């Protein structure tokens, strides 16, 4: 039994932050019903060129293990369908802004009377109660506002976004964790609850936890962990490429000095303790760079690993497909998708000894609509009527 087996999720999310959350839940056994508007999840088009319309590669990866129903929530019939499904699930997740969600009649105060056991999770750009609450947000907006882009300026001399939708991913992870915590609470109390997961506050907390540093003790304190913020805190060039090396403990640092032929540095007052090395970060990184220049990456990996010093080669993205460890554990799988043919997919990286669900393919838009309606008690006549109006069958969306 996968840990979330038997948990039903109504997913009104799109693009990355919400689908990250519900993908994790699907990987852990939850049944995820993806409710899409007639135009579909934006990621169907925004996520790269696709073999067939609306099935971009990013959409395939973020929406495995889910089923799709297309509902026009601008109609009263569509709103009624969403509320009826919500009354029969365990979890409701959306990344629709709060005011819009309430206008649809899908806020916590609307759904809780219909389903007191419902865990209602609203993933938002900004938390309620603040002046930004109703502003739209994407990952880039949050990276800038939260200090993430500015932190990159310490290295690149100007603000930059990370080349990943990092704020989306991290907030999605946090939302999944909060939902699971609420489900544990429900097991004890019998009652659901509302959860708000704001991207801005969570990413600001992420930055400040890491880099509040001496400001912790007062406004005059310096911010930014120097070990991480130093421009030399990056992969190091070797004779034929790049390597990542992090000798942080005294035992690791002293072994590293031996490895590069500088054993006398163990007694250097700049480097003879964790505190000393932290106070002389730039000099310590300089020793590291100079010491690693003379040998090839593979040679260094053998030498450093023999001394239990944390070290890894720098993989290009393309090299991940051939990384021997990833091949050993079977992270990347070749699969036959029911509409896209042969594709590469990622198995869940986290494993549970009790078992993992069989993950279905990412769905074509609306392809499960009639089946989902039937599972939630809609009659054959109701389904027939809805499928010609508020609920769109897949064949009418291509």
Place of tokens 């929530």: 73
Q: How many angstroms separate the CA atoms of 233 and 180, rounded?
A: 36
Asked if residue 334 belongs to a domain, the reply is no
Q: Would residue 21 count as lying in a domain?
A: yes
Q: What CATH number has the domain bearing residue 78? A: 3.40.50.10540
Q: 313, 341, 366 — which closes off a domain?
A: 313
Residue 229 lies in a domain: no
Task: Identify whether residues 21 and 81 lie together within a single domain.
Answer: yes
Same structural domain, 372 and 271: no
CATH of the domain at 302: 3.30.1540.10
Q: How many C-beta neighbours within 10 Å does residue 170 have? A: 20
In the predicted model, is pLDDT for residue 229 greater than 80?
Answer: yes
Q: How many domains does the chain have?
A: 2
The answer to whether residue 338 is domain-embedded is: no
Mean pLDDT of 20-31: 97
Helix (H, G, I), strand (E, B) or coil at 230: coil
pTM: predicted TM-score of the whole model, two decimal places: 0.94
Instruction: Domain of residue 374: give its range.
Output: 8-206+356-396
Are 70 and 200 within one domain? yes
Distance of CA 187 to the CA centre of its chain: 26
* Same domain as 308, residue 181: no
Judgement on whether residues 80 and 186 belong to the same structural domain of the protein: yes
pLDDT (average), residues 243-252 = 97
Asked whether residue 75 falls in the same domain as residue 202, the answer is: yes
* Claim to verify: residue 123 and residue 258 sit in the same structural domain: no
Question: Are residues 173 and 241 located together in one domain of the fold?
Answer: no
User: Is residue 385 a part of any domain in this protein?
Assistant: yes
Mean pLDDT of the residues in the chain: 96
- pLDDT tens digits, residue range 331-356? 999 999 999 999 999 999 999 998 88
**134 lies in the same domain as 20:** yes
């Amino acid at each position: 039994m996968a840990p979330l087996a038997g948990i039903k999720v109504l997913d009104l999310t799109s693009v990355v932050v919400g689908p990250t959350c519900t993908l994790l839940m699907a990987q852990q056994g939850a049944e995820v019903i993806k409710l899409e508007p007639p135009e579909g999840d934006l990621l169907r088009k925004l996520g790269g060129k696709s073999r067939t319309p609306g099935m971009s590669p990013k959409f395939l990866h973020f929406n495995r293990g889910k089923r799709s129903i297309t509902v026009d929530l601008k109609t009263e019939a569509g709103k009624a369908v969403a509320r009826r499904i919500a009354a029969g699930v365990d979890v409701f997740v959306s990344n629709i802004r709060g005011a819009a969600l309430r206008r649809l009649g899908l806020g916590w105060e609307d759904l809780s009377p219909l389903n007191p056991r419902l865990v209602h999770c609203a993933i938002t750009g900004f938390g309620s109660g603040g002046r930004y609450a109703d502003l739209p947000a994407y990952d880039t907006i949050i990276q800038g506002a939260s200090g993430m882009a500015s932190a990159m300026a310490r290295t690149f001399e100007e603000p930059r976004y990370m080349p990943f939708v990092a704020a989306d991913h991290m907030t999605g992870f946090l939302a999944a964790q909060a939902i699971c915590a609420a489900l544990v609470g429900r097991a004890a109390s019998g009652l659901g609850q509302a959860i708000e997961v704001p991207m801005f506050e969570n990413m600001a907390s992420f930055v400040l936890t890491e880099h509040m540093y001496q400001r912790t003790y007062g406004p005059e304190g310096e911010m930014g962990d120097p070990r991480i913020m130093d421009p030399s805190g990056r992969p190091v060039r070797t004779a034929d490429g790049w390597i990542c090396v992090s000798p942080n403990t005294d035992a690791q640092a002293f072994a590293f000095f031996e490895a590069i032929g500088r054993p006398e540095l163990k007694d250097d007052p700049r480097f003879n303790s964790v505190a000393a090395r932290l106070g002389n970060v730039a000099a310590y990184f300089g020793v590291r760079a100079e010491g690693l220049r003379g040998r090839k990456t593979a040679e260094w990996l053998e030498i450093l690993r023999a001394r239990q010093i944390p070290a890894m080669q720098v993989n290009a993205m393309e090299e991940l497909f051939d990384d021997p460890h990833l091949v050993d554990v079977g992270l990347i799988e070749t699969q036959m998708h029911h509409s896209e043919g042969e594709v590469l997919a990622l198995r869940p990286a986290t494993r549970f000894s009790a078992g993992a669900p069989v993950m279905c393919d990412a769905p074509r838009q609306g392809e499960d609509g009639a089946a989902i309606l039937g599972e939630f008690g809609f009659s054959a006549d109701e389904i027939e009527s809805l499928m010609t109006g508020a609920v769109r069958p897949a064949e009418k969306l291509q």
